[in-house]
């Protein structure tokens, strides 16, 4: 019995979700909605009639408004938009990632013409932050440079969790920057032996930026959200890996590690 009803709801959302969205934004006249949704007025009139018949829309003094049921349907439509937007990178999300990750999320895909776009976004986030936690499965020179610059200027506290390969690459490519980070009281570097099939930047414990990679560790894009449930998952995941990591410290021109307790 529920199958046809689900199909009917999905049909409404696929063909008339933009009308629901326009109504929620305050466009109550069919002419305004037609302009907003880039549809003909006759098409909008038909959409509104069908939505009204099924209880998504009501008429009030010549204008149209969403019912509470219509608002619920709009939330489903907006979530479907996010799913569609994230589809190019969705299959590579961590299996334990929560559904809340896509709530109010910004997805930045690394396209062929703009492969650096997600990385530029991460560097911009770091530029404005005061407290940053990072899970680094690969090295990005622009992010490394931004972090070192912020540490030198002061006003930021950084924790970075990395693989041994990342540690060695950083030490080889950015030896002076690594020394500066390890000597700074505002920077903590951790090395993990765990696989890190994703990247993560947590800012002020209020914003999560997840880096999504394919099986060859090619960056596909980032998902940024302030959803409390998603950020809580990010913090919990970071702490889990940090608990099993070792601190990297500077000693006489070399980089070493020792076990630390969880904080």
pTM over the 0.85 mark? no
Give dist(CA 6, CA 170) in Å, integer: 52
Structure tokens at 148: 């070192």
d(CA 82, CA 17) in angstroms, rounded, equals 13
Enumerate domains of the chain plus CATH numbers: 2-77 (1.10.10.10), 91-259 (3.30.870.10)
Tokens of 49: 């009639």
**Separation between Cα atoms, residue 230 and residue 251, nearest integer Å:** 38
Per-residue pLDDT of the chain (263 residues; tens, 9 = 90+): 467 788 888 887 888 888 998 888 887 778 888 888 788 889 988 998 999 998 999 988 778 889 999 999 998 888 888 888 788 888 999 989 998 998 788 999 998 888 889 999 999 999 999 999 999 999 999 999 899 889 988 889 999 999 999 999 999 999 888 888 888 889 999 999 999 999 999 999 999 999 999 999 999 999 999 999 999 999 999 999 999 999 987 665 555 554 433 33
């Amino acid at each position: 019995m529920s199958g046809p009803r689900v199909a009917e709801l999905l049909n409404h959302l696929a063909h008339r979700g933009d009308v629901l969205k326009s109504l929620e934004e305050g466009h109550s006249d069919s002419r305004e909605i037609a302009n907003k949704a880039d549809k003909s007025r006759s098409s909008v009139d038909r959409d509104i009639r069908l939505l009204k018949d099924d209880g998504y829309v009501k008429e009030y003094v010549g204008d149209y408004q969403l019912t509470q049921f219509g608002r619920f349907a709009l939330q489903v439509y907006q979530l479907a938009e996010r799913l569609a937007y994230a589809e190019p990178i969705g299959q590579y999300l961590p299996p334990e990632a929560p559904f809340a990750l896509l709530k109010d999320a910004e997805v930045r895909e690394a396209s062929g013409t703009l492969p650096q776009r997600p990385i530029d976004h991460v560097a911009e986030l770091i530029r404005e932050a005061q407290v940053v936690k990072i899970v680094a499965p690969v090295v990005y020179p622009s992010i490394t440079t931004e972090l070192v610059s912020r540490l030198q200027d002061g006003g930021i506290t950084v924790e970075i969790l990395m693989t041994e390969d990342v540690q060695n690459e950083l030490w080889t490519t950015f030896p002076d920057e690594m020394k500066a980070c390890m000597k700074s009281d505002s920077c903590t570097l951790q090395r993990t032996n765990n696989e890190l099939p994703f990247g993560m930047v947590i800012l002020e414990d209020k914003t999560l930026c997840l880096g999504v990679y394919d099986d060859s560790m090619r960056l596909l894009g980032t998902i940024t959200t302030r959803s409390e449930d998603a950020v809580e998952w990010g913090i919990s995941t970071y702490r889990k890996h940090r608990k099993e990591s070792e601190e990297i410290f500077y000693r006489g021109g070399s980089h070493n590690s020792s076990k630390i307790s969880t904080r």
